[in-house]
Structure 1
Amino acid sequence: MPARHEEIADALRRAIGREEYTVGSRLPPETELAAQYGVSRGTVRQAVAALTAEGLIGSRQGARRVVLASRRSQSFAELRSFAQWARAMGRRATGRVVAQGYRPAGEEDAVRLHLSEGTPVLHVLRVRGLDGEPVLLERTVYADWISPAVESVPPHCPSVTQRLYEDTGLVVAYGEHVIDAVAAGARDAELLGVRRTSPLLRVRRVTTTREGRPVEWSDDRYRPDAVSFSVHNSTGNNALARRGAE
């Protein structure tokens, strides 16, 4: 169960996403938010600090917190799943497994997942969507120790991350992301409903547990008309953000 300050942070994110607090406007004072949620000012301060770290809000010369960005942006510092990001925008996340099976770990699999070459690992090709519209292809390789749990996840499950947490208690705590652009091949074009050779935004990521144990590595390819990436710079924060289409 999330801590109270995390619940308040989520509530404020949703409010910003619904534009109850528009970009440039100020959040209510800490005392008002504390009364609204029935918590101490310290708890509110923790929630506000999380939004500040994400680049959603900031302050101006000690004044009340100012909204800097819409919740359509999601900082990669949050390490939120695709489904969590979609829900924060008020969208419905969908998922569909296209192909799934075990293969011996190759050199890249072994390096990224800290395994011996030849170890059986689970490969999954999944199409992810927003409100049923395909926007992302995930080619994910799961470490051998988590693969059996992934196999039991229903093929149309909207959030594998949430399901693994519910079934096994797995918490994905850290991630590394490398972003570039690639041209859509024939299969990518068919699954995403774009023309062959269309540009796709690719994110290659490795995620690990709090202890640093690799969980998965993935080659994710986004339709650029549905998702973009931006960087919010400040002296204390340089968060990369995933954004929905405008």
Structure 2
Amino acid sequence: MTTTRASEQAYEQLVHHLRVGRFAAGSRLPGERDLSDELGVSRATLRAALGRLEAEGLVQRSAQRGWFVPRQVIGEPPSTLQTFTEMALARGLRPTTRVMRQEVRSATMDEAAKLHIAPASPVIQIDRLRGMDGTPVCFDVVVLPEHRAAELLEADLTNTSLYEELRTRCGISIHRSAYTLMAALADAELARLLGTTVGAAVLVGDEVAYTSDGSPVLIGFNQYRGDAYRFAADLYRPV
């Protein structure tokens, strides 16, 4: 077998392993010696195949630690309001959700002001750990007025869009979201939830979502892994 053909076959085998999920996003590939033995090629041939995968963005090389599968990076189309579930499905990924809190409590002064309700009014807080193809990506906290969204207390939010549940159960359709984004560092608890290290970069999104008549109905606080999320926007200069 020629070197070129051997490299092509090694490349095809590695692509297959990536497609079927043998090497998960964010995981480290076996060492070059073990991988070349498994594929029945020389290390030089293996490196040629890995180099091709690297050029296609399917693997990444670390001089000290070997070869890795990059984590899935999610991003929002410019000026488009999408739910996490919609973003995942649009990219052919499987959204996952672990609901960690779904209960009524009293609104804080800040929450009451943002939602245009009286201080200490009952609100529903929903905490969810969101993932893409099993990889934790975002810790999401949502607060809604209880008198408008009481039906969500009994909703199963593990495999559905919160916006869709709001629409079908509560008759509320989100029209726009005032969204701000800033950089921060993961503390110990957030690092544990997102499977990253303490001090790792995270992107923190704050939002207030409104209906078409301008009524605020939802406050969101989203903390994304910095290596797994990209925010895009169209920016214009005044004429």
Could you say whether these structures have the same fold, taking a TM-score greater than 0.5 normalized by the shorter chain as the test?
Answer: yes
Which of 221, 225, 228 does residue 227 from structure 2 map onto? 225
- How far apart are residue 233 of structure 1 and its match? 4.3
Report how far residue 109 of structure 1 moved: 0.6
User: In the TM superposition, what is the alpha-carbon distance from 1:155 to its structure 2 partner?
Assistant: 4.0
| 1:6 aligned residue | none
**Per-residue deviation, residues 186-225 of structure 1 (Å, max 9, x unmatched):** 2211111111221210010000111111111011000011
Whether the aligned pair in 1 keeps the contact of 2:205 and 2:221 (CA below 8 Å) is yes
Whole-Å Cα distance in 2 between the matches of residues 182 and 73 of structure 1? 18
Which aligned pairs between 1:91-130 and structure 2 lie closer than 5 A?
A: 91-130=93-132
Match of 1:206 among 203, 208, 217: 208
What is the aligned residue count?
165
Which amino acid in the other structure matches residue 110 of structure 2? Answer: E
Contact 2:76 2:232 in 1 (8 A): no
Closer, same or farther: CA 168–141 of 1 in aligned 2, 3 Å: closer
Equivalent position amino acid for 1:88 in 2: A
* SS of equivalent to 1:145: helix
Q: How far apart, in 2, do the equivalents of 1:91 and 1:140 lie?
A: 23
* Alpha-carbon distance in 2 for matches of 1:183, 1:177: 19
CA deviations over 1:94-134 (Å, ceiling 9, x no partner): 11111232221111111111111010111111111111211
Letter of the 1:201 counterpart: L
TM-score by length of 1: 0.62
**Residue 171 (structure 1) aligns with:** 173
* Structure 1 contact 201–222 (Cα < 8 Å) conserved: yes
Higher mean alpha-carbon deviation, 72-81 vs 214-223, is at 72-81
Decide which structure has the larger Cα Rg and report it.
2
CA distance in 1, matches of 2:102, 2:186: 21
Distance 1:184 1:176, change over 3 A: same
Distance apart, 1:86 and its partner CA: 1.1
Question: What secondary structure does 2:79 align onto?
Answer: helix
Contact 1:103 1:123 in 2 (8 A): yes
- Which piece of structure 1 moves more, 178-187 or 143-152? 143-152
The gaps in structure 2 that reach 5 residues or longer are: 1-73
TM-aligned CA distance change 1:73 to 1:220, over 3 Å: closer
Pair 1:127–1:73, CA change in 2 (3 A):
closer
What per-residue deviation string (whole Å, max 9, x for no partner) do you get for residues 212-242 of structure 1?
Answer: 1111101100001111123344679xxxxxx
Q: How far did 1:147 drift?
A: 3.2
Between 1:176-185 and 1:149-158, the stretch displaced more is: 149-158
Aligned AA (2:100): V
- After TM superposition, the runs of 4+ consecutive aligned structure 1 residues lying more than 4 A away are 233-236
* TM-score, structure 2 normalization: 0.64
Could you say what secondary structure the match of 2:213 adopts?
A: coil
In the TM superposition, what whole-angstrom CA distance separates every residue of 1:38-80 from its partner, at most 9, and x where no partner exists? xxxxxxxxxxxxxxxxxxxxxxxxxxxxxxxxxx642352211
Contact 1:94 1:158 in 2 (8 A): no
Partner SS, residue 147 of structure 2: coil
Corresponding residue for 1:133? 135
Conserved 8 A contact 2:137-2:224: yes
Q: Is the 8 A contact 2:99 2:127 kept in 1?
A: yes
Look up the SS of the partner of 1:177 in the other structure: strand
Deviates more, 1:119-128 or 1:144-153: 144-153
Q: What is the letter of the counterpart of residue 185 of structure 2?
A: A
